[in-house]
Amino acid sequence: MFSRRNRPPTSPELTAAWEALDQGDVPGALRELRQAASAPLGEVALVVERAAREAGFDDLRQAAGALAAHPGRVRPLYDYGYACVERGVSYLAIPALREALRLEPGSLGMLRELVSAYEDEGRHREAADALLAHEDGLADWPDRYLLVFNSVLAGDLEAARRHHARLPDPDDDTWRGARERQNRVMARAEDAGRAGALDRADLRGWQYVMGGTVLGTMSPYGFDAGMGGRYAWTQDTHDSCLRGLVRLKAVLEAAGAKPRSVSLLPDRGSRILGLAAAEVLGLAAKPFEAGRKDTVVIAYDLDDTGGTEHGPEVLEQLYHRVPGQILHEHASCWTDPPAVAADSVTLLHQSAVAPWGAGLRAGADGGVERTEPDARPEAEIAAGIVGADPAADEGDGQTPADPVDVLTDFVTAVRGSWLRGDRARVRSTGPVGSSRFL
């Protein structure tokens, strides 16, 4: 006989998740639960309770157990939703929080937690709609601010402008920074709207609106097959690094920026790319210093920078802009964005292998083998980048043409709102979706 704590759910949608737990595969069970949106909440909670027990998440285990026992009560619904958000499984929180809000429609706390869960999942249209459904009871801060925020990320600039115009300045200094950031977002939207379509295919435009990032290149693979200009996985090359630096030089010229040095971040990849950048830009290379003005800070991948001994401190320093400082990141992860948003990015990836990292290649027997990392001195690898071929990869032939003059025309149009304010992290992919692997 099964006790309540280990009996299997009866819903067939949950069978695969339960069987994954039988195999000790908690991540697999959670992936299966993404496909079980219509399963009864009490039965989903049974699976989550067992998964949380296996993972050692006592808060989520207790909340899921309470919901399994009382699936129609507001408090267990809310506590479970809150615990799911805290543990990074917001997709599981959404049905419970929606039901809790239906049962107690006047609760701003429940509404805000639901909006937070929607945001974590990139479901900004639904977040905005949930706020609009309770518009009469919204506070200006944070609720109407969140309405503007989610309208932008849903691609609805008309609504965002309308609600932004009605939003007064906050009385509480806690929200001053958020107000200033949102003002900058709206200013960037005006500029980017003049520069391009700002439709569901305008990846460069929306990257700029969201974080002030100028995107240098588009992935030439799978554009019309779900990627929209982003990479899923890429094995990077010296050619790509040089192409990014050549385009960075064009961006700086179009913006009228006149840096006097290149600043080298502490991780190996950034030092390699920074030495190459100094040659391409004709500037002196210097170790990074937080207060240096009029410099281009070069990062290969800011997540690598953050993983060094002093990386978190360096990223905190980069969050706060120094006059004339321009932060360029070559390979930026779009599914788990770095702690700061770079001013310029060459490419967006979900997973990338640096040219000097351990990669994959075709073996003599026709199979795939792993290569060793490139252990040569940094200056020698940098010289290989400078001598590479910056011509664009032709890809699959389905990506719209993106010559350098299209990029520089964009920069010329937005230069008035570029390089302003802090470099707040951008967690959302925004209105331009891309396929991803889990």
Q: Is 72 left (phi over 0), alpha (psi -120 to 50) or beta?
A: alpha
Phi, psi of 324 (to 5 degrees): 80, 0
pLDDT digits (tens, 9 = 90+) for 270-323: 999 999 999 999 999 999 999 999 999 999 999 999 999 999 999 999 999 999
CA distance 264 to 275: 8
Q: Provide the strand spans (E) within 359-421.
A: 360-362, 368-370
pLDDT digits (tens, 9 = 90+) for 213-229: 999 999 999 999 999 99
Residue 361 has what pLDDT?
67
Residue 369 has what pLDDT?
78
> Right CATH number for 199-414 from 3.30.70, 3.40.50, 2.40.128, 2.40.50?
3.40.50
Q: Burial letters for 36-66: b for 16+ Cβ neighbours within 10 Å, e otherwise?
A: beebbbbbbbbbbbbbbbeeebeebbbbbbb
Burial degree of 146 (CB within 10 A; 0-12, 13-18, 19+): buried
CA distance 348 to 213: 11
CA distance 78 to 62: 13
Q: Which of the residues in the chain have pLDDT under 50? A: 1-3
User: Other C-beta atoms within 10 Å of 433: how many?
Assistant: 14
CA distance 12 to 14: 5
CA-to-CA separations, 168 to 133, 159, 184, 188, in angstroms, rounded: 21, 16, 15, 20
- Whether 199-414 and 12-173 are alike in CATH topology: the answer is no
Residue 291 has what pLDDT?
95
Residue 320 has what pLDDT?
97
CA distance 322 to 79: 43
Where along the chain do its domains lie? 12-173, 199-414
Smallest Cα–Cα separation from 315: which of 337, 348, 346? 337
Q: Which CATH architecture has domain 12-173?
A: Alpha Horseshoe (1.25)
Residue 1 has what pLDDT?
30
* Paired tokens of 198: 């700002």
Residue 371 has what pLDDT?
86
Residue 368 has what pLDDT?
72
CA distance 365 to 303: 35
Helix 90-103 with 41-55: angle, nearest 10 deg: 140
Smallest Cα–Cα separation from 218: which of 195, 198, 201? 201
Smallest Cα–Cα separation from 97: which of 83, 87, 111? 111
Q: Is 430 left (phi over 0), alpha (psi -120 to 50) or beta?
A: left
